[in-house]
Amino acid sequence: MADLHLVIGNKAYSSWSLRPWIAMKAQGLAFRETVIGLQQLDTNAQIKKYSAAAKVPVLLHGAITVWESLAILDYLADTFPEKAWWPKDIPARAHARAVSAEMHAGFSNLRSHMTMNIRKSVPNKSRSDAVNADISRINALWKECRGRFGGRLDRSCSARSRTRMPCTRPLSRASRLTA
Ligand SMILES: N[C@@H](CCC(=O)N[C@@H](CS)C(=O)NCC(=O)O)C(=O)O
């Protein structure tokens, strides 16, 4: 089988990049990693060498190029079915997919007002009601997942890698995540 090559942005700033990166590490997959510096003059040109979408992460596997973090995780689940990516149980799987899709498409207030920077702590940064609503929704999601599915959803690598990453935003800003 061809080598896996994951193209990502800086790990301190790119939560999207960390989603497949964490999942692949957790699954013990061997892969080559190329890191592209974000917010540089040539960032766009560097990423476009790998994907016309001009966003990281990008997974290269032989002749196959997959972009969009959720599509990458689904590709990996299809390609390495012997590893546990999504829960086997259909209701838990449906829930994990819904949570992951919500995480992929939503939380725009949290994303734009609390951009990820793992190196920085800004505990006193003020938050709008909209940001607080996003944080409350994440807490509710985690609580519901744990309540309904216990460790089963937690052990699902795809859902876990997707839903845990946004927690770096409120954590570096001293918000309280309760679940
Ligand atoms: N929906 C995309 C989002 C990817 C994304 O926005 N990546 C950012 C870095 S976190 C990026 O590549 N930005 C390009 C740039 O800064 O020029 C995914 O899930 O992969």
The H or E element spanning position 112 is: helix 108-113
- pLDDT of amino acid 85: 93
- pLDDT of amino acid 155: 56
- pLDDT of amino acid 176: 55
CA distance 172 to 167: 9
Q: What is the sign, positive or negative, of the torsion defined by CA atoms of 69, 71, 76, 82?
A: positive
- pLDDT of amino acid 1: 82
Domain 4-79: CATH architecture, name and number where available? 3-Layer(aba) Sandwich (3.40)
CA of 16 to the centre of ligand 1 (A): 6
* Preceding amide of 57 cis, omega within 30: yes
- pLDDT of amino acid 123: 83
Pocket probe mutation, ligand 1, options 14, 56, 68, max atoms within 8 Å of Cβ: 56
Closest C-alpha among 161, 109, 104, 153 to residue 135: 109
CA of 148 to the centre of ligand 1 (A): 32
Q: Which atom of ligand 1 is nearest to the CA of 13?
A: 10
Pocket of ligand 1 (CB under 6 A): 9, 14, 16-17, 38-39, 43-44, 55-57, 68-70
CA distance 145 to 165: 16
Q: Which atom of ligand 1 is nearest to the CA of 39?
A: 16
CA of 110 to the centre of ligand 1 (A): 15
- pLDDT of amino acid 147: 93
- The amino acid sitting at 34 is T
Along the chain (179 residues), what's the average pLDDT of each consecutive run of 10 residues? 95 95 97 97 98 98 97 97 93 95 94 90 88 96 92 59 56 55
Q: What is the residue extent of each domain of the chain?
A: 4-79, 90-171
Closest C-alpha among 96, 85, 104, 97 to residue 153: 96
